Amino acid sequence: MPAFFRHRLFRILPFAFIWLLVTLFMLLIYFDPRVALAPQLSSTLIFTTLSIPLSWYAAMHLVPEFLYKKKIAAFIGRLVLLLCVNIIVLYFVTAVIYHYLSGRPIIPSPLVLLMIILVFFFVNLIFISIACGVKIIADRYGLEARLHETEKEKISTELNFLRSQINPHFLFNILNTIYFQIDKSNLQARASVEKFSEMLRYQLYDCNTDKIEIKKEIDYIQSYITMQGQRLEAETDVQLHTSAGLEGFAIAPFMILTLVENAFKHISHFKNAAENKVHIDIKKTGELLIVKTVNTFDKSEKVQQLVQSGGLGLQNLMRRLELLYPQKGQLTTHNSGTIFESVLNLKLS
């Protein structure tokens, strides 16, 4: 059987099963042992079949046009009006057919007529409720699927944008470093270009995936620190500490770099170079990766700039945490005097 027909069949079968159950239920209620089964079954099938168009109209038109737009009164009013009209039409159609097949009167006693109308009402209401419920569930599922795809696309776009913002800023710093090295020594310039080439290769090729091995990320951080250190005075206190156990797991690319980059970007420039420092500590405790950066900064500059670094600093990282590590990532910052501290916690499980 072709896939199209299988799909249609699976959608129709539940409704057919419900229609059959309601038909048998009505037949059980109305069954008259004094009348042959054929006319009773025929009139019941006609009734339940003719109830379907009203259910379809309520689900496909009344629900989106009134219920979804929160026009509850208009929805209920139109539904009740259609129910009344449909019950009258259905009664006379089935009563006439039942009369010709069995000879029974078209209009029975008032009590029987009232019972018949009430049953007709509730049966139609059941059909309408089922149809509207299926419509709402289907629309809800479709909406969630579309929202999910839209959110995925939005996240992918934002991540690409955020990631692309890091690279030009970093390349600018490296180009400046190389520029100031050219006059010092061709060997040193050559080494810087080679190191830069390795880092660029990492950015362009290794980081095309959602996750990168922690070892590669740390190697990149070490290269970055080496390059940045070359543009600082030799006495500047730059340290990187990594603990054992930093292997066997992966993280999103450039998560650590943002903290390191922020520390170097806002490092102080005291006359005594030894007072300028950047300390970086990366460790894994259980299922928690902890990255801590500490840097000195000049109090004459606004501390707020450490957080609002033109979209290239900690705000960038905070947004990426929301997208990539919801409920599993946390970034805290603290400043005291001339020391600024950032701590990133990532739950790896």
CATH number at residue 330: 3.30.565.10
Task: Please indicate, yes or no, whether residues 235 and 139 belong to a single structural domain of this protein.
Answer: no
CA distance 102 to 31: 13
Task: Please indicate, yes or no, whether residues 47 and 131 belong to a single structural domain of this protein.
Answer: yes
What pLDDT, in 10s, does the model give residues 16-45? 666 677 667 766 666 666 767 776 677 677
Which pair of tokens denotes residue 226? Answer: 């080496």
* Pick from 7-16, 127-136, 176-185, 302-311: least confident: 302-311
**pLDDT score at 341:** 92
**pLDDT score at 79:** 85
Q: For residue 119, is it within any domain?
A: yes
Q: For residue 170, is it within any domain?
A: no
CA distance 277 to 296: 6
> Considering the chain, what is the average pLDDT of its residues?
77
Question: Among 131, 229, 230, which Cα is nearest to 188's?
Answer: 230
Whether the per-residue pLDDT at 58 is higher than 80: the answer is yes
Say which amino acid occupies 29. Answer: I
Q: For residue 228, is it within any domain?
A: yes
Average pLDDT estimate for 245-259: 87
β-bridge mates for residue 279, sequence order: 239, 294
Q: Which class for 50: exposed (0-12), middle (13-18), buried (19 or more C-beta within 10 A)?
A: middle
Longest distance between any two alpha carbons in the chain, whole Å = 114
Say which amino acid occupies 104. Answer: R
**4 vs 42, residue with greater confidence:** 42
Task: Please indicate, yes or no, whether residues 128 and 207 belong to a single structural domain of this protein.
Answer: no
Helix (H) and strand (E) counts for the chain? Answer: 10, 7
**281 vs 195, residue with greater confidence:** 281
DSSP state of 248: S
Last residue of a domain, one of 105, 131, 148: 148
Average pLDDT estimate for 115-121: 78
Average pLDDT estimate for 203-219: 80
- Give the orientation angle of helix 37-50 with respect to helix 3-30, to 10 degrees: 130
Number of domains the chain contains: 2
CA distance 95 to 46: 10
Q: For residue 164, is it within any domain?
A: no
Which pair of tokens denotes residue 59? Answer: 């689900």
Task: Please indicate, yes or no, whether residues 10 and 72 belong to a single structural domain of this protein.
Answer: yes
Chain-centroid distance of CA 7 in Å reads 27
- What is the reported pTM? 0.49
β-bridge mates for residue 282, sequence order: 242, 291
Q: For residue 155, is it within any domain?
A: no
Whether the per-residue pLDDT at 46 is higher than 60: the answer is yes
CA distance 53 to 58: 9
Radius of gyration for the chain, computed over Cα atoms and rounded to the nearest angstrom: 37
Average pLDDT estimate for 6-12: 52
Task: Please indicate, yes or no, whether residues 196 and 302 belong to a single structural domain of this protein.
Answer: yes
Task: Please indicate, yes or no, whether residues 78 and 14 belong to a single structural domain of this protein.
Answer: yes
Task: Please indicate, yes or no, whether residues 339 and 197 belong to a single structural domain of this protein.
Answer: yes
